[in-house]
Structure 1
Amino acid sequence: MGKSRFHWLCFPFLKVTTSFRRCPLSKRSLIIASVCVVYLLVVSQVGFSQQHRGRRTDRDKYRHTRGLYNLDDTLPELQTEASSVVPTRYNVVYITLKSRRLKPAHIRGTIRPKLRRKVRGNKEANSAFTHNKLGTLERDTGQSKGNFAPKGSSGETGDVFYKSLDIIHTSHTDSNADSHISSIRIYSQRAPPWLSPQDVRAMRFLADAKVLRVKEVSHGDAPSLLIFEGETNASVSNQKHTQRNNVCSGQCGVINSPVDTTEVFAFHLDRVLGLNRTLPAVSRKFSFLHDGQSCPVVSLDASLYPEGLAAGLSNVRLTWGEYQSSLKQRCWHKNISPKPNSGCSTVHHYEWSKLALFDFLLQIHNRLDQSCCGFRPRLEDVCVELGLKAECRDQNHIRLTNIIHRGHDPRHLVFTSNKGFFDRNEDNLDFKLLEGIKELPEQAVSVLRSRRLREKLLQSLFLDQTYWESQGGRQGIDKLIDVIERRAKVLLTYINAHGIKVITMNA
């Protein structure tokens, strides 16, 4: 039975071999040649597919490893150098100027007038802003109204512990606080040279620190501040200030309204120009504020409040006439103490030049021209609604506002409340800000003359991803820089026309 089955299975093979053996020699040669050709074609095709698959695997490995930093070799060096920065992203993005528009866009197309509209009684409006937002926090977490204590002796009006906001914390991710990817984008071992290591640390804290608590704190005669405390270790000097002022136990930031995005642009412009007079500022999204819109967050410097937050900022009290007189006397120039009856303030003469240049580029008038005497204001501007425009008839008695310095450093100013205007045309610029100025800082003017202002601002603003995206990306940022570049050209023409000296200001 088994032999017959075997014979039946082998019968076709035997029949084929017998037929092949009986064929003529020419046919057998042709059959053998055809079989060889088919075999070669099949083998070569299989080898090519395997080789192509190997190349594709190598290419994928190269794609995944390209651009990565070798952190194992660089980390020891980063710990020894104070100015080094650990990269927060692992791919490389270059900002070029090749996509520059031929015709600058009109800035009014990017500014919504409703958001810029001023409200009568600015103090009351800002105070309502903080109360409303704290009330929103309270409603969202199901807390009772009694949890917010009334204003006490320390000046605090409320204290909301972030850890108790279980509904918000579990349903939303608060501004990348729990994410491993920072919103501060640094692609190399060093940040741009105009940003110090302290600036980078402050930016990362403001953008990424986990929020421990949010509180509303009174601010002298000014509107209340909405402050958040982050989870980080503050420096020794800052801890002394915070303990004395009873603001917070660590490092803090001030949350501003979403319409005050100029604070972030002002910070980067200040650093690019080499003035170094503004406080670090970034954009951040809070899931429990403004429906998740990006808000400017400014670093809280307790040294600006030497007598505590309740007493307000360390403000220099000057009238316009006294200010012009101090410019003529060049107070504290070459470290020469002024005479007792000279009327000089504690501010160094060079500080006014830096302030005037900075305010002119951003058209900030709430320091040197609060009454809007140097330009044509709109009907919705605060100076018009409050009737401050009438004070221009007697300009010498108009008081300067927001002239701030640190308690331990009265010679140098700190630029706060940098609310600029990008929608003011070149035919309506406030030249009153430059009145009495005879010198300007060489470092800042050289940046304006070098035609690299756009390149540096793009590199600097690109670090803040939240701000970059909130302004519409590269296209929106370009529109803002267009305005600053046009004003820079006007300023350079003004310098040449009035013979203003450009000197080194290291004081």
Structure 2
Amino acid sequence: MGGNGTSVPPNVVYITLRSKRSKPTNIRGSVKPKLRKKHAFPLPYGQRFPVGVTGQEEALSQQQGRTSYSMGLMREAVVPETPRHQLKKHWDGEREAVGRGHQRHVGVSGRINVQPKARESNIRIYSERSPSWLSKDDILSMCLLADSRIDSVQEAPSQHGVLLVFERNPSATGAACSQGYCGLIKRPLDMSEVFAFHLDRILGLNKTLPSVSRKSEFIQDGLPCPIILWDSSLAPTNNRTHSSVRLNWGSYQQLLKQKCWQNGKVPKAEWGCTEIHHHEWSKMALFDFLLQVYNRLDRNCCGFKPRKEDSCVQKGLKQKCEDQDSVDLTHIIQRRHDPRHLVFIDNKGFFDRSEDNLDFKILQGIKEFPESAISVLKSQRLREKLLQSLFLDKVYWESQGGRRGIEKLIDVVERRAKILLTYINAHGAKVLPMNE
């Protein structure tokens, strides 16, 4: 905001599409960038200065008030330690305080003088507002995962993997991971986790954990890899199924028929319902079909022809499809304080699966679909929104080959979306609001 109370115009326009391409394979090149260099600055998370700032730059920043510019707001470079659930309150209070005291940094034109020495953030937000489908907490988490210093590395307590513990204010007390300052690092091959996060938010499902791509010294050859926000509120999981609910395919199909908890209906004991609301399965099925995530509802690959590198083939699970009702569902996760709703983890999707080998078993038993997601698929704006959203993650964008590579991934999802809409019409499935 300018010193005279007027809004500063955005200095970058998000990617838009002039017209819908007639052929998905005819990919346009990236727009030629302007000569004027634009800086995006990180949101600090407890560290005094971003990684890579020299001693001279630190002294200069101290002399100039240790300020940084992010999302059109002037913020103090040192953020007091605060638990994760208090970050939003702290952000709002800090915005108000800075709004009262930043006039000395405003030039004659009314624009804020940005310090050019600050390190550029890997989350690119150049205008006043981020895309509407990303919440303020989403942006905070993305900047934390992408830009914060790494304080230590430790083994993940309930999943196979490695946790990055991010640096906090020295006066902070309590476990860092319980306060939201940890990220689960995954393999470079799991980069579709980042795409899944953005697709989830655009569809209005809000079931995945924030995820960004980051280059790390802990990965061989410095390849970028996905970092997923660690959520200590997730319910403990069974070691064999990695689920907080024990459920096999046969019992899952039965509870779909009972529509557990829909319209406030309390299920009877003989129905075999879990605490999970009926609508959650519809959201999961839609999401998994678009990305062809099979490790939740079809971990034995019974609904499609897998490749030799798929985990179900390597583990010999494909041979167990004769008795499908006994196959366990995996990665069915809830939060301890919210057992009615699911959290989507391990969202490894596959973009190289052809349209004649899609896993339709994921949709079996689903008679209703979420209205918010279907409206996005029908709006012809899925491509535009994905481009705008994925552009924020600089490392992911570049690792996929820029706009040309991102467009190819979107081509795949758009074709699957058309197939899904055809499936819904052919089977007479209902489209309902699912915002309970």
Cα distance, 1:103 vs. partner?
3.6
Superposition map of 1:231-246 within 5 A: 231-232=167-168, 243=175
- CA distance in structure 1 between the partners assigned to 2:319 and 2:148 by the alignment: 46
Superposition map of 1:323-342 within 5 A: 323-342=252-271
Q: 1:295 to 1:169 in 2, by over 3 A?
A: farther
Which residue of the partner structure matches residue 253 of structure 1? 183
In 1, are the aligned partners of 2:293 and 2:350 still within 8 Å (CA)?
yes
**Secondary structure in structure 1 of the residue aligned to 2:151:** strand
- CA distance in structure 2 between the partners assigned to 1:405 and 1:213 by the alignment: 28
Q: 1:284 to 1:361 in 2, by over 3 A?
A: same
Superposition map of 1:17-28 within 5 A: none
Deviation sequence 1:19-50 (CA, Å, 0-9, x none): xxxxxxxxxxxxxxxxxxxxxxxxxxxxxxxx
Which residue of the partner structure matches residue 61 of structure 2? none
AA aligned opposite 1:420: G
Superposition map of 1:44-443 within 5 A: 71-72=2-3, 91-98=11-18, 102-105=22-25, 180-219=119-158, 222-223=159-160, 225-232=161-168, 243=175, 247=177, 251-305=181-235, 315-443=244-372
In 2, are the aligned partners of 1:315 and 1:405 still within 8 Å (CA)?
yes
- CA distance in structure 2 between the partners assigned to 1:306 and 1:316 by the alignment: 9
TM-score (norm 2): 0.74
In 2, are the aligned partners of 1:268 and 1:457 still within 8 Å (CA)?
yes
**Secondary structure in structure 1 of the residue aligned to 2:271:** coil
- CA distance in structure 2 between the partners assigned to 1:490 and 1:342 by the alignment: 33
Which residue of the partner structure matches residue 83 of structure 2? none
- CA distance in structure 2 between the partners assigned to 1:443 and 1:298 by the alignment: 25
TM-score (norm 1): 0.64
Superposition map of 1:470-481 within 5 A: 470-481=399-410
- Higher percent of residues as helix: 1
Over alpha carbons, which structure has the higher Rg?
1
**Secondary structure in structure 2 of the residue aligned to 1:476:** helix
Root-mean-square deviation (CA), in Å? 3.1
AA aligned opposite 1:195: L
In 1, are the aligned partners of 2:243 and 2:330 still within 8 Å (CA)?
no
- CA distance in structure 2 between the partners assigned to 1:181 and 1:202 by the alignment: 17
In 1, are the aligned partners of 2:180 and 2:230 still within 8 Å (CA)?
no
- CA distance in structure 2 between the partners assigned to 1:250 and 1:272 by the alignment: 23
Instruction: Tell me: higher relative CO, structure 1 or 2? Use CA pairs within 8 A at least 6 residues apart.
Output: 2
In 2, are the aligned partners of 1:231 and 1:250 still within 8 Å (CA)?
no
In 2, are the aligned partners of 1:364 and 1:418 still within 8 Å (CA)?
yes
AA aligned opposite 2:348: K
Deviation sequence 1:384-441 (CA, Å, 0-9, x none): 2222112211111111000001011110000000010000000000000000000000
- CA distance in structure 2 between the partners assigned to 1:415 and 1:267 by the alignment: 9
- CA distance in structure 1 between the partners assigned to 2:278 and 2:400 by the alignment: 36
- CA distance in structure 1 between the partners assigned to 2:4 and 2:145 by the alignment: 29
Q: 1:100 to 1:440 in 2, by over 3 A?
A: closer
- Once superposed, which parts of structure 1, at least 4 consecutive aligned residues long, lie more than 6 Å away? 309-313
In 2, are the aligned partners of 1:215 and 1:227 still within 8 Å (CA)?
yes
- CA distance in structure 2 between the partners assigned to 1:72 and 1:364 by the alignment: 49
Deviation sequence 1:104-149 (CA, Å, 0-9, x none): 3499xxxxxxxxxxxxxxxxxxxxxxxxxxxxxxxxxxxxxxxxxx
- CA distance in structure 2 between the partners assigned to 1:393 and 1:453 by the alignment: 38
Deviation sequence 1:446-484 (CA, Å, 0-9, x none): 000011000111111111111111101100000000000
Cα distance, 1:93 vs. partner?
3.9
In 1, are the aligned partners of 2:11 and 2:127 still within 8 Å (CA)?
no
In 2, are the aligned partners of 1:304 and 1:314 still within 8 Å (CA)?
no
Cα distance, 1:253 vs. partner?
0.6
Which residue of the partner structure matches residue 96 of structure 2? none
Cα distance, 1:99 vs. partner?
8.3
Q: 1:400 to 1:353 in 2, by over 3 A?
A: same
- CA distance in structure 1 between the partners assigned to 2:215 and 2:408 by the alignment: 23
**Secondary structure in structure 2 of the residue aligned to 1:302:** coil
AA aligned opposite 2:135: S
- Aligned-pair identity in percent equals 59
- The answer to which of 377-386 and 452-461 deviates more is 377-386
Q: Which runs of 5 or more structure 2 residues have no equivalent in the other structure?
A: 28-46, 55-116
- CA distance in structure 2 between the partners assigned to 1:180 and 1:207 by the alignment: 12
**Secondary structure in structure 2 of the residue aligned to 1:282:** strand
In 1, are the aligned partners of 2:180 and 2:231 still within 8 Å (CA)?
no
